[in-house]
Structure 1
Amino acid sequence: MSEPLILDGAATAKAIRAEVAARATKLKEAHGITPGLAAVLAGDNPASVTYVSMKRKACAKAGITSFEHVFGADATQEEVLACIHQLNADPNVHGILVQHPMPKGLDEDEILATVDPAKDVDGIGRASLGDLVLGHPSFVSCTPQGMMTLLKRYGIDPAGKHAVVIGRSVILGKPMAIALLNANATVTICHSKTQNLAELTRQADILVAAVGRPELITGEMLKPGAVVLDAGYNRVEGRGHDVGDCHFESCAAVASAITPVPGGVGPMTIATLLEQTVAAAERSVGK
């Protein structure tokens, strides 16, 4: 086969961030509003701390005000809920990101459900997920929405295609499967209890790997010409860079299009968070 199309998430995310910055400037000039994104972080999970730091820098470049509310691992449910209620009522905050996982002892589901759906720019509250199932979501979980945007910008239409999603987490696998279904794909969901995984992956016109197992998917498990979206991001000792859930070289030899790791799905997550924050700010003025 010829070389696959590389779905360049880094370049696409850069274009989206520029669009977001232009929209933020327009909001400020027309309505005197600066979009605001608040992050709520409890504990000291290294990945969470890193993500919030990346988000802060991205906000600054996009003309979005970043607010951060940091709690220790001993934070109480009442303290975090009080913070969420305060942010719901703050007109300067248009988006709320509850960084997960939260420490043991906190009811993450209740905290997420307390976020005003109009400000749930991370798209993982009960109301947001319910609206996604109903087919008219305000905000979709950022990584799945980033992948859907990547498909759209590269002219890949899921309609009529067989999509196989590996992974069923509430922030990635499940919303991605529903988003593809809403885009008129036929969807199969695979997970840790799935038998004969390779038989199912070989049927996929679009394969989404979102299970967190390094290089689980190899080229021999793909249908020739498949589109591969690799949402994995795994640190492997002795490797010079993080690797995805797909073995890139063997999959690229079979696929028609594929996301690299790094530089594929990852950059789209924060770009989508920024985009949905600006969209929330625009809706606040009836735009």
Structure 2
Amino acid sequence: MSKKENKEEKSLIRSSTAEYLTFIAATGEGGVDAIYADENIWLSQKMMGTLYNVETHTVNYHLKKIFSDSELEESSVVRNFRITATDGKNYNSKHYNLSAIIAVGYKVNSERAVQFRKWATQIVQEFTIKGFAMDDERLKNDGTILGKKYFEEQLQRIREIRLSERKFYQKITDIYSTAIDYDVTAQATKRFFATVQNKLHWAIHGQTATEVIVNRANHQTENMGLTTWKDAPNGKIQKFDVSVAKNYLSENEMQQLQRLVSAYLDIAEDMAIRQIPMTMEDWESRLNKFIEATDREILQN
């Protein structure tokens, strides 16, 4: 591996990383060399001591306590990096990721640690109130979480979603999953996934997916009232075909649905091109506003 590749892999980030953790106190230069790798921040015990303005042995004491109390699993937060020391020699140095850095910040007693805890409390409060919290510096700096590379990858993901063979409502949920704060276990996610199909159906013909099936399925009509099915037009209708709401839509309704989803994907693509980060709440709100902007009704309750 070349020196250049090695440098890129480790991506040394100075003040912005420390600022993200502590708002860096006014201590001269305030530089803390952190290694950014595998979408995580890594500090040695010495650098943590610098960050919180405490002795290295204090950091070591608290880390041992954190691991012995099973607050964190040591193997999951520790990684060795090959570092060039001031003597020009390379050494393997033990580093700790953001989870450990934060845990130590809540244990040590120093002015800078108190400053960190105040900052962290504010972030938690913002997260609770807004549903997300961002660091403006990280938004500005390329190479970090929301830099130019992030939005390029976001745009690529959205275009892949457009070209996929996924069902129309699954493409909308795929877009939702690109949110910067995406959490598959969140109640907001469960709500969105449970309602998006019905919202789209309602916008097109004023019925939920279940209502379409109940009102249009009829064993006395040709093909059970289906307008399409998996092996249509000549293949056999299977049991699962009759439980798919879109299989009962008219050609006009299907075209409307396809245009609606395509236009929503256009909006998502435009957001990525303009480098606008979107949260789960943003995507849910955007879908409602989009449906409303097309003079269609939004499903309530």
Q: Tell me the TM-score range normalised by the shorter chain.
A: under 0.3
TM-score, normalised with respect to structure 1: 0.26
Q: Which protein has the bigger strand share?
A: 1
Q: Which protein has the bigger helix share?
A: 2
